[in-house]
Amino acid sequence: MNLRGRALGRKRHGAGMLLSPAVVLLLVWSLVPLAMTLWYSTRNYNLVDPTLHGFSGVNNYWYLLTDPDFLTALLNTAILVGGVLAITVGLGTVLAVLFDQAFLGRGVARVLVISPFFIMPTVSALLWKNLMLHPIYGVYSAMMRAVGLTPVDWLSNYPLATLVMIVAWEWLPFAILILLTAIQSLDSEQKEAARMDGAGPLAQFRFIILPHLARAITVVIMIETIFLLAVFAEIAVTTAGGPGVASTNLAFLIYSRALLQFDVGGASAGGVVAIVIANIVAAFLLRAVARNLET
């Protein structure tokens, strides 16, 4: 990179001017809301109760961390992220290998299988809630009746598991897309050589494809984690966090504290916790990406 810079080297000065608008805007964007969140998290501040104000120290954090709803939300967040990751990475790897094979109409089939990724979250939530999983009118319920089973009201009885399924449907295409691209970059001579040496399909998968995919899998896990920690619209539209707090994750908890209960201080404390968690994940992702910059 430095060699390249020297080869071009003239007036980096002027180039800096071109960089500064983006840098300044992102600096403001990354510092101001963060500072405000930290500030509010130490305040008594409720939008509907103006008599309540002033410094509260760590009370907001204390209330949040001792609130059983917070623990539930934290656990739900972990289940949602972990469940969706397990399904999308596991199934995604197998399907990426499948869609790498030569077969009739492969291009069209690939386009169909990655389509859910482009569906907006509110649409996919309503689509699953009403057209697929509705206990009376849903297609899946009809299929269950057809084989003699009693349809289940999925979102009422198993809200979190159903949300994991819906979100996994949205993110499976992403995993397939990335992993398929990675498989295609695998040297075909290497596969050929392995086959010559008598490696069966399973051995090829285990010893050639899987190691080759390691980095792509890391990228998929990291990027999905960032987005899955923030799953919101799917919950807001299908279960509104319920029944009770059965399907409330951290993102929805903060939203309900802030915009339904107008508790700015408490919601901000939750926001700080969310930022801390996301930063731990981000540190790993940045390390993975930074390695790539060197090549």
**Per CB under 8 A, does 127 bind other proteins?**
yes
In the complex, minimum distance from the CB of residue 206 to other proteins, in angstroms, rounded to a whole number: 19
Tell me how far apart the alpha carbons of residues 71 and 49 are, in angstroms, rounded to a whole number.
27
Cβ neighbour number for residue 227 with a 10 Å cutoff = 14
Amino acid at 23: V
The C-alpha atoms of residue 246 and residue 196 are separated, in whole angstroms, by 54
User: Which window, 68-76, 80-88, 186-194, 212-220, contacts other proteins (CB under 8 A)?
Assistant: 212-220
| DSSP per position, 220-241 | HHHHHHHHHTT--HHHHHHTTT
- CA–CA dist 182, 184 (Å, integer): 5
String of contacts with other proteins for each residue 19-58, x by CB under 8 A: x-xxx-xx--xx-xxx-xx--x------------------
Residue among 70, 255, 248, 250 nearest 159 (CA): 248
Q: Which stretch binds other proteins (CB under 8 A): 60-68, 188-196, 203-211, 228-236?
A: 228-236
Supply the minimum distance, in Å, between the C-beta of residue 51 and other proteins: 19
Q: Is 147 in the site for other proteins (CB under 8 A)?
A: no
Binding segment (CB under 8 A) for other proteins, from list 60-68, 154-162, 190-198, 218-226: 218-226
By CB under 8 A, residue 1 contacts other proteins: yes
Q: Which residues contact 138 (CB under 8 A, 6 or more apart)?
A: 130, 131, 132, 151
Question: Does 238 sit near other proteins (CB under 8 A)?
Answer: yes
Residues in 59-98 that interact with other proteins by CB under 8 A: 95, 98
Work out which of 51, 55, 120, 202 binds other proteins, going by CB under 8 A: 120
- Counted residue by residue, the chain has a size of 295
The verdict on 210 binding other proteins (CB under 8 A) reads no
List 113, 152, 165, 199, residue binding other proteins (CB under 8 A):
113
